[in-house]
Amino acid sequence: MIEESLRFARVNDEEEEQRIKRVVDVGCGIGGSSRYLASKFGAECIGITISPLQAKRANDLSAGQSLSHKVSFQVADALEPPFEDGKFDLVWSMESGEHMPDKAKTFVNELARIAAPGGRIIIVTWCYRNLSQGEEALQPWEQKLLDRICKTFYFPAWCSTSDYVNLLQSLSLQDIKCADWSVNVALFWPAVIRTALTWNGLFSLLRS
């Protein structure tokens, strides 16, 4: 998934790899992407998460892989990242945008603010489908399904891919690309269900 995202954003040739020295992982979780990107590019990577438990686990894992000199994690709000303008050559957000309540005025604006001139912003996130011409909203059955998903996973309101593109265009960013990978990632969910329907999986669910 990480490599495909880098290929899609054309951050996979030797020149680009040498140019990327500073990376930020926005909504880093326990830091899997951060460690991979730091190792791949030999770059300094900072991950931010609102969870102290995730930040501690991420730092512990990085120490265990002897990456503490390259990767660090801290508790910070993605809507108010504690970084100066234009700091990072690569701004990375892997499946965290769907958790952001204010995608327009804050989340996307802040990603653009901390990106260095000529840098790359990669956002991989859950979206609902683009509306067709003449449509003003999703169909009622679609909205009902989306509401169930958001309730289950504690998500705020979503937006479409075209909404993200419009937001990025409004900030005068260049070379904006988008794609729908839902067919590729749909196989993930049956795998999750199969994992949960084991004795270990059921025990973990009950314990949590």
**Tens digits of residue pLDDT in 4-38:** 999 999 987 777 778 899 999 999 999 999 999 99
Q: What is the pLDDT of residue 186?
A: 86
Q: What is the pLDDT of residue 153?
A: 86
Token digits of residue 115: 């990106």
Each domain of the chain, given as residue ranges in start order, spans 1-130+157-206
Q: What is the pLDDT of residue 203?
A: 81
Low-confidence ranges of the chain (pLDDT < 50): none
Count of CA atoms in the C-beta half-sphere (13 A) of 69: 2
* Spatial contact of 143 and 151, defined as CB atoms under 8 Å apart: no
Distances (CA, A) of 75 to 33, 58, 78, 103, 154: 17, 11, 10, 20, 20
Q: Topology of 1-130+157-206 in CATH?
A: Rossmann fold (3.40.50)
Q: What is the pLDDT of residue 116?
A: 96
Q: What is the pLDDT of residue 205?
A: 74
Picking from 121, 113, 126, 129, the residue whose alpha carbon sits closest to that of residue 189 is 126
Q: What is the pLDDT of residue 100?
A: 94
Percent of the chain with pLDDT over 90: 77
pTM score of the predicted model:
0.89
